[in-house]
Structure 1
Amino acid sequence: MDLPHPTVLRFLLTLEEEGYVAREANQWRLTTRVFEIGFAAMESLGVTEAVQEHLQQLADVYSGTANLGEINPEGVIIVGRAMAPAERRRLVVMNLRVGSVLPPGSALAMALALPVGEWSELEYPESNQMSIAVPLPAVGSRQLSLGISTSMGEATPARIREEMVPALQRAAGTVSRMIGLAPA
């Protein structure tokens, strides 16, 4: 959408007055105040501190990264993310964070199309990683999935089936209720 220059300038001046942008020479930059908008957006999506705690527990138990994703025209967008301490110290090749979009072929995106009780899994042999994801029980129009990415050594076939998938499904039910997608 093309906006007239005076309109854009008026918006920028208003944002500057409110402290969301700053002018440096002929350049505009966002200020740290925009985090307020981001945190408010996360809260409105239902990604509360309690939801983050559940993601952190999964990440810690499976020594990996837990992601909460919502359907997006390009695949799935990460709306919640937690990393185990060991994962934070490791150099991660993919710079994924809240707001990153994963493609339709990712485990988190594939889980969106599955019925509750099913799961998707995907191996990344080049990085020795494995991702397992489950859909969240949904009420309403939102489609979300919950997944864990960890080393292939942590995610043996038996552990995936007997421990990880049931833990993800329990967490998916709890998170779904917490963000108002499922009946209490």
Structure 2
Amino acid sequence: MSEADGTVSDRDFIQSIERGFAVLLAFDRDLPDPTLAELAAATGLSRPAVRRILLTLQQLGYVAAHGRRWRLTPRVLTIGQHYAATHGVAEVAQPHLLRLTELTHESASLSQLDGTDVVYVARVHVRRVMSLNVDVGSRLPVHPTSMGRVLVAWADPGVVERVIAAGLEQLTPTTVTDPVAFRDALHAVRQDGFAVVDGELEPGFLSAAAPVRDPSGEVVAALAYSTSRGRTEPQTVLDEVVPHLVEVADAISRDLAQVSAGRRAVDPRARDGFF
């Protein structure tokens, strides 16, 4: 493995693990209980290879056969539980997410960067926003989201270059797709200390995000608020929501520092209840 960029040499790469995860990840909303043939088509693997992988996963308890079809078992949830147990930011942030929803009456989320995607690691729903259906584990692109811009605004230049190289897809008429304009937007986020994105991911979708930092000052997550133009105007978000968003994000950062120092003293303003 290269310590500089995290790449793995061909000699150290275990292809069977890659294929196993490919099969697991093929189970989704479109294929909740696929057949072996459907999994082979979805992954590009041969049917004999998929069969061996399924039988191994079945033996380990991660999938179960129902006639010709296969389903994930609840055991797959333990993978996410292990992540939460070893990455305390989601646990620390949860009461603060509840408080933010009380202050804004809209959904609140915490996300982290995974490659060139934003991944939700914690979320409190208030109402469904637009046609997006997101929950913990959902992934969104970086460039048209307030969370993504916060996460890469303070990242190493190489991260920004990878996001741009992955493609700044035009999802709506207002999506920023020009690399120079995207870099300018990131510069504005660094200057303002937050991001507001209007209608770039989906028409009418309005969101704002602020950085959550670890004790060293590194941005490790983004706290986000989301709504629609049918309920709130961008200026209202700037005037009334962003101050709450920044304050709650700072409170999460302070709690992370306390946890790191071994003193779990959650901000007393954080609420364990909801409404």
- Say yes or no: does 1:160 pair with 2:160: no
Q: 1:120 aligns with which of 195, 201, 205?
A: 195
Q: Taking structure 2 as the reference length, what is the TM-score of the superposition? A: 0.53
One-letter amino acid of the counterpart of residue 147, structure 2? L
Q: Which has the higher strand share?
A: 1
Identity %: 30
Deviation at 1:119, TM superposition (A): 0.9
Uncovered stretches (5+) of structure 2, i.e. residues with no partner: 1-14, 20-45, 154-188, 262-275
Could you tell me whether the CA contact under 8 Å between 1:117 and 1:134 is conserved in 2? Answer: no
User: Which residue is equivalent to 2:223?
Assistant: 146
Q: Taking structure 1 as the reference length, what is the TM-score of the superposition? A: 0.74
Equivalence map 1:1-184=2 (5 Å): 1=15, 9=52, 12-13=54-55, 15-84=57-126, 87=127, 90=128, 92-103=130-141, 104-112=143-151, 113=153, 114-115=189-190, 118-124=193-199, 128-138=204-214, 139=216, 143-152=220-229, 153-154=231-232, 157=235, 160-161=238-239, 163-179=240-256
User: Which residue is equivalent to 2:3?
Assistant: none
Deviation at 1:134, TM superposition (A): 0.9
Uncovered stretches (5+) of structure 1, i.e. residues with no partner: none
Query: For each residue in 1:88-145, what CA deviation from the matched residue of structure 2 results, as whole angstroms up to 9, or x when unmatched?
Result: xx57411212122222221111112144861110123975442111111233866311
One-letter amino acid of the counterpart of residue 58, structure 2? E
In structure 2, the CA distance between the partners of 1:159 and 1:69, relative to structure 1 (3 Å rule), is closer
Q: Kindly tell me the number of residue pairs found equivalent between the two proteins.
A: 178
Q: Distance in 1 between matches of 2:218 and 2:50?
A: 35
User: Which residue is equivalent to 2:42?
Assistant: none
Deviation at 1:175, TM superposition (A): 2.1
Deviation at 1:172, TM superposition (A): 1.4
Query: For each residue in 1:33-72, what CA deviation from the matched residue of structure 2 results, as whole angstroms up to 9, or x when unmatched?
Result: 3222222222322255552222122123212211111112
In structure 2, the CA distance between the partners of 1:48 and 1:145, relative to structure 1 (3 Å rule), is closer
What root-mean-square deviation, in Å, do the aligned CA atoms of Structure 1 and Structure 2 show?
3.5
Could you tell me whether the CA contact under 8 Å between 1:21 and 1:31 is conserved in 2? Answer: yes
One-letter amino acid of the counterpart of residue 175, structure 1? I
